[in-house]
Amino acid sequence: MKLPLILVNFKAYEQATGESAVALAKIHEKVAKETGANICIAVSALDLARVCSEVSIPVFAQHTDFEGYGSHTGHILPDMVKEAGAYGTLLNHAEFQLEDETLEKCILASKRAGLFVVVCANDPQRAVKVSGFDPDFVAVEPPELIGGDISVSKAEPAIIEKTVDLVGKGKVLVGAGVKTGEDIKIALALGASGVLLASGVVKANDPYSVLMDLVSGLN
């Protein structure tokens, strides 16, 4: 995985599902090609195969379970996600948190399937705990700042520094309220390897311009 990276979570926003998911994914791909930035996206399971077939940038599932092939109705199998063309998976988001035992199984199953695993954590202490399950990256996101107007970079810079110190450089993404290139620049200066964000891009009137501004913070 090329660093630093920008991972945009499409969540289940109307602007980022169905045909809109494909269109938005292509905007991300356009910016990535124009700038050389490593831009990844996490999309709904319902849109995963279609989006993967339409763009060349890394596409993540928004969740994977730990079950393998068999009688597991309704579960999102890591092997099926990989077969659909996904690069990785996003686990334990604040909106979809897992118990430790389940999370560890999901990480193991996803890595066994060949997926790159990003695991979310609410704070530095939780980041240390989940990093012990051996994900590829830990994304620390204070839940009270998610979707807000002030980024973690500006509101709680100490959280970034502490998480990097405890988990290690080259292993930490940060998120919550990230919307600008300046937010990214601060996060990288504090030791992060990239950012995880959502509404700042997905709900923007001009996602292309927002992404170009975000990419400016990588330099």
Q: Which pLDDT does position 146 carry in this prediction? A: 61
**For the segment 111-131, what is each residue's pLDDT rounded down to a tens digit?**
999 999 999 999 999 999 999
Is 141 tagged catalytic? yes
Kindly name the residue from 141, 144, 156, 161 that is annotated as catalytic: 141
User: Which residues of the chain are modeled with pLDDT < 70?
Assistant: 143-153, 155
Write out the CATH class of domain 5-216: alpha beta
Q: Which pLDDT does position 98 carry in this prediction? A: 97
Q: Which pLDDT does position 219 carry in this prediction? A: 81
- The span from the CA of 217 to the CA of 165, in Å, is 22
Is 93 tagged catalytic? yes
- The span from the CA of 139 to the CA of 206, in Å, is 26
Kindly name the residue from 63, 93, 104, 156 that is annotated as catalytic: 93
